[in-house]
Structure 1
Amino acid sequence: MVVESVLPTEPKSLKHESNICHRQSLLTAPHMQPLTTYVENLRERLGDKVFIPDFDPLDGGINAEFIFLFEKPGPQTDFRNGGSGFISRDNNDDTAKAIFCFMQSIGLDRKRTLLWNTIPAWDNSRAYQGLHVRKGIEMLDELLPLLPNLKTIILVGRQAQKAKKGLKARGYNVAESYHPSPLVKARYRQIWEQIPAAWKDAISANKR
Protein backbone atom coordinates (compact mmCIF):
# COMPACT_ATOMS: atom_id res chain seq x y z
CA MET A 1 0.00 0.00 0.00
CA VAL A 2 1.28 3.47 -0.91
CA VAL A 3 0.16 6.21 1.48
CA GLU A 4 1.38 9.80 1.25
CA SER A 5 3.26 11.01 4.31
CA VAL A 6 4.93 13.96 2.56
CA LEU A 7 4.23 15.97 -0.57
CA PRO A 8 4.64 13.87 -3.73
CA THR A 9 7.99 14.13 -5.48
CA GLU A 10 6.85 12.39 -8.66
CA PRO A 11 3.79 12.98 -10.89
CA LYS A 12 0.69 10.80 -11.12
CA SER A 13 0.63 9.81 -7.43
CA LEU A 14 -3.18 9.73 -7.46
CA LYS A 15 -3.09 6.55 -9.50
CA HIS A 16 -2.91 4.89 -6.07
CA GLU A 17 -6.27 4.44 -4.35
CA SER A 18 -4.65 4.78 -0.93
CA ASN A 19 -3.48 8.30 -1.82
CA ILE A 20 -6.97 9.22 -3.00
CA CYS A 21 -8.42 8.03 0.31
CA HIS A 22 -5.85 10.03 2.23
CA ARG A 23 -6.76 13.23 0.42
CA GLN A 24 -10.45 12.60 0.93
CA SER A 25 -9.74 12.51 4.67
CA LEU A 26 -8.28 16.03 4.43
CA LEU A 27 -11.30 17.69 2.82
CA THR A 28 -12.61 18.90 6.18
CA ALA A 29 -9.28 20.39 7.30
CA PRO A 30 -9.52 24.11 8.23
CA HIS A 31 -7.82 25.32 5.05
CA MET A 32 -10.24 23.22 2.97
CA GLN A 33 -13.61 23.39 4.69
CA PRO A 34 -14.94 26.53 2.93
CA LEU A 35 -13.87 25.14 -0.45
CA THR A 36 -15.41 21.74 0.27
CA THR A 37 -18.67 23.48 1.17
CA TYR A 38 -18.46 25.50 -2.05
CA VAL A 39 -18.12 22.29 -4.09
CA GLU A 40 -20.98 20.61 -2.23
CA ASN A 41 -23.23 23.59 -2.97
CA LEU A 42 -22.33 23.44 -6.66
CA ARG A 43 -23.16 19.74 -6.76
CA GLU A 44 -26.56 20.39 -5.24
CA ARG A 45 -27.32 23.10 -7.79
CA LEU A 46 -25.98 21.40 -10.91
CA GLY A 47 -27.22 17.88 -10.19
CA ASP A 48 -25.76 14.45 -10.79
CA LYS A 49 -25.66 14.61 -14.60
CA VAL A 50 -22.30 16.34 -14.27
CA PHE A 51 -19.33 15.70 -12.01
CA ILE A 52 -17.68 18.43 -9.97
CA PRO A 53 -14.33 17.38 -8.51
CA ASP A 54 -12.91 18.50 -5.19
CA PHE A 55 -10.01 20.86 -4.67
CA ASP A 56 -6.71 19.18 -3.81
CA PRO A 57 -6.05 19.41 -0.04
CA LEU A 58 -2.28 19.26 -0.61
CA ASP A 59 -2.50 22.66 -2.31
CA GLY A 60 -3.00 25.89 -0.41
CA GLY A 61 -6.75 25.82 0.06
CA ILE A 62 -8.13 29.15 1.24
CA ASN A 63 -4.59 30.30 2.03
CA ALA A 64 -3.54 30.23 -1.63
CA GLU A 65 -1.94 33.30 -3.17
CA PHE A 66 -2.28 32.16 -6.78
CA ILE A 67 -5.22 30.39 -8.37
CA PHE A 68 -4.58 28.66 -11.68
CA LEU A 69 -7.86 28.58 -13.57
CA PHE A 70 -7.82 25.95 -16.29
CA GLU A 71 -10.65 25.38 -18.76
CA LYS A 72 -12.75 22.39 -17.80
CA PRO A 73 -12.27 19.21 -15.73
CA GLY A 74 -11.20 16.18 -17.72
CA PRO A 75 -12.37 12.57 -17.40
CA GLN A 76 -9.51 11.71 -15.02
CA THR A 77 -11.07 13.93 -12.36
CA ASP A 78 -14.25 11.82 -12.33
CA PHE A 79 -14.14 8.75 -10.10
CA ARG A 80 -16.87 7.23 -12.28
CA ASN A 81 -14.22 7.01 -15.00
CA GLY A 82 -11.63 5.62 -12.63
CA GLY A 83 -10.35 9.11 -11.84
CA SER A 84 -9.33 10.59 -8.52
CA GLY A 85 -12.27 12.90 -7.84
CA PHE A 86 -9.89 15.86 -7.49
CA ILE A 87 -8.60 18.76 -9.54
CA SER A 88 -4.96 17.94 -9.01
CA ARG A 89 -1.49 18.10 -10.51
CA ASP A 90 -1.15 14.54 -9.21
CA ASN A 91 -3.87 13.02 -11.38
CA ASN A 92 -3.01 10.07 -13.58
CA ASP A 93 -2.94 11.91 -16.91
CA ASP A 94 -0.39 13.76 -19.00
CA THR A 95 -1.84 17.24 -18.52
CA ALA A 96 -1.55 16.82 -14.76
CA LYS A 97 1.97 15.49 -15.19
CA ALA A 98 2.94 18.60 -17.14
CA ILE A 99 1.43 20.85 -14.46
CA PHE A 100 3.34 18.96 -11.76
CA CYS A 101 6.65 19.19 -13.64
CA PHE A 102 6.20 22.82 -14.67
CA MET A 103 5.40 23.90 -11.11
CA GLN A 104 8.38 21.96 -9.85
CA SER A 105 10.69 23.47 -12.47
CA ILE A 106 9.94 27.04 -11.36
CA GLY A 107 10.14 26.17 -7.67
CA LEU A 108 6.58 27.21 -6.87
CA ASP A 109 5.48 25.95 -3.46
CA ARG A 110 2.16 24.22 -4.01
CA LYS A 111 0.90 25.57 -0.69
CA ARG A 112 0.82 28.98 -2.38
CA THR A 113 -1.42 27.69 -5.18
CA LEU A 114 -4.91 26.46 -5.92
CA LEU A 115 -6.07 24.73 -9.11
CA TRP A 116 -9.57 25.10 -10.48
CA ASN A 117 -11.47 25.46 -13.78
CA THR A 118 -13.47 28.23 -15.39
CA ILE A 119 -16.10 25.58 -16.18
CA PRO A 120 -16.29 23.64 -12.90
CA ALA A 121 -18.07 20.47 -14.08
CA TRP A 122 -17.17 17.50 -16.28
CA ASP A 123 -20.19 16.59 -18.44
CA ASN A 124 -18.72 13.63 -20.36
CA SER A 125 -17.73 15.92 -23.21
CA ARG A 126 -14.66 17.96 -24.06
CA ALA A 127 -16.82 20.42 -26.00
CA TYR A 128 -17.29 23.98 -24.75
CA GLN A 129 -20.48 25.98 -24.92
CA GLY A 130 -20.66 29.72 -24.43
CA LEU A 131 -23.39 29.35 -21.82
CA HIS A 132 -21.21 27.04 -19.73
CA VAL A 133 -18.33 29.48 -19.86
CA ARG A 134 -20.54 32.39 -18.77
CA LYS A 135 -22.11 30.38 -15.96
CA GLY A 136 -18.70 29.22 -14.81
CA ILE A 137 -17.47 32.80 -14.59
CA GLU A 138 -20.51 33.71 -12.49
CA MET A 139 -19.66 30.87 -10.10
CA LEU A 140 -16.20 32.35 -9.59
CA ASP A 141 -17.89 35.27 -7.82
CA GLU A 142 -18.71 32.84 -5.03
CA LEU A 143 -15.27 31.21 -4.97
CA LEU A 144 -12.75 34.04 -5.15
CA PRO A 145 -13.93 35.88 -2.00
CA LEU A 146 -13.05 32.70 -0.07
CA LEU A 147 -9.35 33.34 -0.83
CA PRO A 148 -8.25 36.26 1.38
CA ASN A 149 -4.56 36.00 0.38
CA LEU A 150 -5.22 35.90 -3.36
CA LYS A 151 -2.69 37.92 -5.38
CA THR A 152 -3.05 36.76 -8.97
CA ILE A 153 -5.37 34.67 -11.11
CA ILE A 154 -3.59 32.79 -13.90
CA LEU A 155 -5.95 31.92 -16.75
CA VAL A 156 -4.66 28.79 -18.47
CA GLY A 157 -5.95 28.19 -21.99
CA ARG A 158 -8.20 30.06 -24.40
CA GLN A 159 -11.50 29.10 -22.80
CA ALA A 160 -10.31 30.20 -19.37
CA GLN A 161 -9.09 33.48 -20.82
CA LYS A 162 -12.67 34.40 -21.70
CA ALA A 163 -12.98 35.29 -18.02
CA LYS A 164 -10.22 37.93 -18.22
CA LYS A 165 -12.35 41.00 -18.88
CA GLY A 166 -14.83 40.23 -16.13
CA LEU A 167 -12.16 39.39 -13.56
CA LYS A 168 -10.14 42.52 -14.28
CA ALA A 169 -13.34 44.58 -13.98
CA ARG A 170 -13.73 43.13 -10.50
CA GLY A 171 -10.29 44.38 -9.57
CA TYR A 172 -8.32 41.12 -9.73
CA ASN A 173 -4.76 40.87 -11.01
CA VAL A 174 -4.90 38.52 -14.01
CA ALA A 175 -2.19 36.72 -15.99
CA GLU A 176 -2.47 34.27 -18.90
CA SER A 177 -0.73 31.25 -20.33
CA TYR A 178 -1.24 28.52 -22.87
CA HIS A 179 -2.67 25.18 -21.76
CA PRO A 180 -0.22 22.36 -20.86
CA SER A 181 -2.22 19.64 -22.59
CA PRO A 182 -0.70 16.93 -24.81
CA LEU A 183 -2.62 18.46 -27.74
CA VAL A 184 -0.86 21.81 -27.34
CA LYS A 185 2.44 20.00 -26.85
CA ALA A 186 1.97 18.02 -30.07
CA ARG A 187 0.90 20.99 -32.21
CA TYR A 188 2.80 23.87 -30.68
CA ARG A 189 5.79 22.41 -28.88
CA GLN A 190 7.71 25.69 -28.60
CA ILE A 191 4.69 27.47 -27.11
CA TRP A 192 4.09 24.57 -24.71
CA GLU A 193 7.67 24.80 -23.46
CA GLN A 194 7.18 28.49 -22.67
CA ILE A 195 4.36 27.83 -20.18
CA PRO A 196 6.59 27.57 -17.07
CA ALA A 197 8.18 30.92 -17.89
CA ALA A 198 4.73 32.53 -18.17
CA TRP A 199 3.78 31.11 -14.78
CA LYS A 200 7.04 32.27 -13.23
CA ASP A 201 6.49 35.78 -14.60
CA ALA A 202 2.99 35.85 -13.12
CA ILE A 203 4.37 34.92 -9.70
CA SER A 204 7.37 37.23 -9.91
CA ALA A 205 5.21 40.22 -10.85
CA ASN A 206 3.99 40.34 -7.25
CA LYS A 207 7.53 40.95 -5.99
CA ARG A 208 8.12 44.05 -8.07
Structure 2
Amino acid sequence: MMAPDRQPAHVAPLNRFAAVLRARHGDVPDFDPLDGGIAARLLVLLETPGPASVSTGTTSRDNPTGTARNLTRFLDGLPLSRWDTVIWNAVPWRLPRRGGKLGRPTRMDIEAAARDLPALLALLPRVQVVVLAGRVAQSLRPALDAARPDLTVIAIPHPSPTHLAASPAARERLFGEASRREIAVAIADEAG
Protein backbone atom coordinates (compact mmCIF):
# COMPACT_ATOMS: atom_id res chain seq x y z
CA MET A 1 0.00 0.00 0.00
CA MET A 2 1.28 3.40 -0.92
CA ALA A 3 1.88 6.02 1.78
CA PRO A 4 -1.01 8.52 1.87
CA ASP A 5 1.26 11.49 1.07
CA ARG A 6 2.65 9.74 -2.03
CA GLN A 7 -0.67 8.89 -3.70
CA PRO A 8 -1.20 10.15 -7.26
CA ALA A 9 -4.20 12.48 -7.25
CA HIS A 10 -6.25 10.34 -9.66
CA VAL A 11 -6.19 7.30 -7.33
CA ALA A 12 -5.91 8.98 -3.90
CA PRO A 13 -9.70 9.07 -3.27
CA LEU A 14 -10.01 5.44 -4.37
CA ASN A 15 -7.15 4.34 -2.13
CA ARG A 16 -8.72 6.19 0.82
CA PHE A 17 -11.83 4.10 0.09
CA ALA A 18 -9.63 0.97 0.02
CA ALA A 19 -8.15 1.99 3.40
CA VAL A 20 -11.65 2.24 4.90
CA LEU A 21 -12.42 -1.26 3.61
CA ARG A 22 -9.06 -2.49 4.93
CA ALA A 23 -9.97 -1.24 8.41
CA ARG A 24 -13.26 -3.16 8.23
CA HIS A 25 -12.38 -6.31 6.34
CA GLY A 26 -8.64 -6.88 6.52
CA ASP A 27 -6.28 -7.06 3.58
CA VAL A 28 -7.53 -4.92 0.66
CA PRO A 29 -5.12 -4.01 -2.17
CA ASP A 30 -4.88 -0.48 -3.52
CA PHE A 31 -5.98 0.67 -6.97
CA ASP A 32 -3.40 0.62 -9.74
CA PRO A 33 -1.95 4.12 -10.27
CA LEU A 34 -1.23 3.27 -13.93
CA ASP A 35 -4.99 3.04 -14.61
CA GLY A 36 -7.34 5.99 -14.87
CA GLY A 37 -8.58 6.05 -11.29
CA ILE A 38 -11.36 8.58 -10.79
CA ALA A 39 -11.13 9.64 -14.47
CA ALA A 40 -12.00 6.15 -15.77
CA ARG A 41 -14.96 5.52 -18.06
CA LEU A 42 -14.87 1.72 -17.75
CA LEU A 43 -14.88 -0.20 -14.46
CA VAL A 44 -13.90 -3.87 -14.54
CA LEU A 45 -15.02 -5.85 -11.50
CA LEU A 46 -13.22 -9.15 -11.05
CA GLU A 47 -14.10 -11.50 -8.19
CA THR A 48 -11.59 -11.39 -5.30
CA PRO A 49 -7.93 -10.38 -4.91
CA GLY A 50 -5.54 -13.11 -5.98
CA PRO A 51 -2.29 -14.07 -4.31
CA ALA A 52 -0.20 -11.77 -6.55
CA SER A 53 -1.82 -8.70 -5.03
CA VAL A 54 -0.06 -9.61 -1.75
CA SER A 55 3.32 -8.90 -3.31
CA THR A 56 2.29 -5.97 -5.50
CA GLY A 57 -0.19 -4.35 -3.12
CA THR A 58 -2.51 -3.47 -6.02
CA THR A 59 -5.34 -4.87 -8.08
CA SER A 60 -3.65 -4.61 -11.45
CA ARG A 61 -3.54 -5.98 -14.96
CA ASP A 62 0.24 -6.00 -14.44
CA ASN A 63 0.20 -8.56 -11.63
CA PRO A 64 2.24 -11.65 -12.55
CA THR A 65 -0.67 -14.06 -13.12
CA GLY A 66 -2.46 -15.77 -15.97
CA THR A 67 -5.65 -13.98 -14.99
CA ALA A 68 -3.94 -10.59 -15.33
CA ARG A 69 -2.45 -11.58 -18.70
CA ASN A 70 -5.87 -12.66 -20.00
CA LEU A 71 -7.49 -9.49 -18.67
CA THR A 72 -4.81 -7.39 -20.38
CA ARG A 73 -5.42 -9.22 -23.65
CA PHE A 74 -9.15 -8.52 -23.32
CA LEU A 75 -8.63 -4.84 -22.45
CA ASP A 76 -6.05 -4.32 -25.20
CA GLY A 77 -8.77 -5.25 -27.70
CA LEU A 78 -11.00 -2.38 -26.60
CA PRO A 79 -11.01 1.09 -28.18
CA LEU A 80 -9.95 2.64 -24.87
CA SER A 81 -6.67 3.74 -23.38
CA ARG A 82 -5.52 2.38 -20.06
CA TRP A 83 -6.35 5.79 -18.60
CA ASP A 84 -10.02 5.13 -19.43
CA THR A 85 -10.15 2.02 -17.23
CA VAL A 86 -10.07 1.07 -13.58
CA ILE A 87 -9.94 -2.47 -12.21
CA TRP A 88 -11.33 -3.63 -8.88
CA ASN A 89 -12.76 -6.73 -7.26
CA ALA A 90 -16.40 -7.39 -6.47
CA VAL A 91 -15.31 -8.61 -3.02
CA PRO A 92 -12.17 -6.49 -2.61
CA TRP A 93 -10.71 -8.09 0.51
CA ARG A 94 -8.46 -11.13 0.47
CA LEU A 95 -10.23 -14.26 1.62
CA PRO A 96 -8.56 -16.96 3.70
CA ARG A 97 -7.25 -19.95 1.79
CA ARG A 98 -9.16 -23.16 2.33
CA GLY A 99 -7.52 -26.50 1.65
CA GLY A 100 -4.71 -24.88 -0.32
CA LYS A 101 -7.14 -23.08 -2.64
CA LEU A 102 -8.22 -19.47 -2.76
CA GLY A 103 -11.18 -18.86 -0.51
CA ARG A 104 -14.60 -18.37 -2.11
CA PRO A 105 -16.73 -15.43 -1.01
CA THR A 106 -19.57 -16.25 1.34
CA ARG A 107 -23.03 -14.75 1.04
CA MET A 108 -22.05 -12.36 3.85
CA ASP A 109 -18.97 -11.25 1.87
CA ILE A 110 -21.08 -10.56 -1.21
CA GLU A 111 -23.74 -8.70 0.79
CA ALA A 112 -21.06 -6.54 2.45
CA ALA A 113 -19.48 -5.84 -0.94
CA ALA A 114 -22.89 -4.84 -2.35
CA ARG A 115 -23.32 -2.35 0.51
CA ASP A 116 -19.89 -0.83 -0.25
CA LEU A 117 -20.50 -0.54 -4.00
CA PRO A 118 -22.42 2.78 -3.98
CA ALA A 119 -19.50 4.49 -2.20
CA LEU A 120 -17.11 3.21 -4.88
CA LEU A 121 -19.40 4.34 -7.70
CA ALA A 122 -19.68 7.80 -6.14
CA LEU A 123 -15.90 8.11 -6.57
CA LEU A 124 -16.15 7.20 -10.26
CA PRO A 125 -18.42 9.89 -11.76
CA ARG A 126 -17.16 9.38 -15.34
CA VAL A 127 -17.75 5.62 -15.42
CA GLN A 128 -20.20 4.72 -18.17
CA VAL A 129 -19.73 0.96 -18.46
CA VAL A 130 -19.16 -1.71 -15.82
CA VAL A 131 -17.80 -5.08 -16.90
CA LEU A 132 -18.66 -7.88 -14.49
CA ALA A 133 -16.08 -10.66 -14.85
CA GLY A 134 -17.36 -13.93 -13.41
CA ARG A 135 -20.27 -15.08 -11.30
CA VAL A 136 -19.29 -13.33 -8.06
CA ALA A 137 -19.02 -9.97 -9.83
CA GLN A 138 -22.26 -10.67 -11.72
CA SER A 139 -24.06 -11.24 -8.42
CA LEU A 140 -23.58 -7.50 -7.73
CA ARG A 141 -25.75 -6.53 -10.72
CA PRO A 142 -28.80 -5.59 -8.57
CA ALA A 143 -26.65 -3.35 -6.35
CA LEU A 144 -25.15 -1.68 -9.44
CA ASP A 145 -28.58 -1.13 -10.99
CA ALA A 146 -29.89 0.39 -7.76
CA ALA A 147 -26.89 2.67 -7.22
CA ARG A 148 -26.37 3.82 -10.81
CA PRO A 149 -29.20 2.85 -13.18
CA ASP A 150 -27.53 4.98 -15.88
CA LEU A 151 -24.64 2.53 -16.29
CA THR A 152 -24.30 -0.02 -19.05
CA VAL A 153 -23.47 -3.33 -17.38
CA ILE A 154 -21.85 -6.11 -19.39
CA ALA A 155 -21.15 -9.64 -18.12
CA ILE A 156 -18.09 -11.54 -19.29
CA PRO A 157 -16.49 -14.79 -18.13
CA HIS A 158 -13.82 -14.55 -15.46
CA PRO A 159 -10.41 -14.37 -17.20
CA SER A 160 -8.71 -17.03 -15.08
CA PRO A 161 -6.75 -19.53 -17.20
CA THR A 162 -8.41 -22.45 -15.39
CA HIS A 163 -11.90 -21.21 -16.19
CA LEU A 164 -11.06 -20.43 -19.81
CA ALA A 165 -9.34 -23.79 -20.36
CA ALA A 166 -12.44 -25.60 -19.11
CA SER A 167 -14.84 -23.69 -21.35
CA PRO A 168 -14.17 -22.91 -25.02
CA ALA A 169 -17.42 -20.90 -25.03
CA ALA A 170 -16.12 -18.70 -22.18
CA ARG A 171 -12.86 -18.20 -24.05
CA GLU A 172 -14.76 -17.14 -27.18
CA ARG A 173 -17.00 -14.79 -25.16
CA LEU A 174 -13.97 -13.15 -23.54
CA PHE A 175 -11.71 -12.86 -26.58
CA GLY A 176 -14.27 -12.80 -29.38
CA GLU A 177 -15.53 -9.66 -31.05
CA ALA A 178 -19.04 -9.69 -29.52
CA SER A 179 -18.02 -8.53 -26.02
CA ARG A 180 -15.61 -5.96 -27.36
CA ARG A 181 -18.18 -4.61 -29.80
CA GLU A 182 -20.79 -4.38 -27.04
CA ILE A 183 -18.42 -2.33 -24.86
CA ALA A 184 -17.28 -0.13 -27.77
CA VAL A 185 -20.88 0.65 -28.71
CA ALA A 186 -21.80 1.47 -25.10
CA ILE A 187 -18.82 3.82 -24.69
CA ALA A 188 -19.52 5.50 -28.06
CA ASP A 189 -23.22 5.92 -27.21
CA GLU A 190 -22.35 7.59 -23.91
CA ALA A 191 -19.81 9.87 -25.57
CA GLY A 192 -22.20 10.89 -28.38
Residue 136 (structure 1) aligned to one of 109, 113, 123: 113
The aligned counterpart of 2:48 is: 72
Q: Using the aligned pairs only, state the percent identity.
A: 32
Cα drift, residue 148 of structure 1: 1.4
In the TM superposition, what whole-angstrom CA distance separates every residue of 1:13-72 from its partner, at most 9, and x where no partner exists? xxxxxxxx9x879961111110111111111222xxx31001000000000001001111
In the TM superposition, what whole-angstrom CA distance separates every residue of 1:78-134 from its partner, at most 9, and x where no partner exists? 1xxxx2111000001100011112212334311000000110101233222111011
Cα drift, residue 194 of structure 1: 2.3
Matches within 5 A, 1:1-208: 28-46=7-25, 50-78=26-54, 83-125=55-97, 126-170=103-147, 171=149, 172-196=151-175, 197=177, 198-208=179-189
Q: Which stretch has the larger CA shift, 100-109 or 153-162? A: 100-109
| Aligned pairs, number | 180
Q: Which stretch has the larger CA shift, 104-113 or 132-141? A: 104-113
**Is the 8 Å Cα contact of residues 69 and 154 (structure 1) preserved in structure 2?**
yes
Shift in CA distance, 38/98, structure 1 to aligned 2, threshold 3 Å:
same
Distance in 2 between residues matched to 1:26 and 1:57, nearest whole Å: 14
Structure 1 unaligned regions, length at least 5 = 1-20
Distance in 1 between residues matched to 2:155 and 2:42, nearest whole Å: 12
Shift in CA distance, 135/106, structure 1 to aligned 2, threshold 3 Å:
same
Distance in 1 between residues matched to 2:5 and 2:113, nearest whole Å: 26
Task: Provide TM-score, normalisation by structure 2.
Answer: 0.85
Distance in 1 between residues matched to 2:128 and 2:116, nearest whole Å: 19
Structure 2 unaligned regions, length at least 5 = 98-102
Distance in 2 between residues matched to 1:140 and 1:97, nearest whole Å: 26
Task: Provide TM-score, normalisation by structure 1.
Answer: 0.79
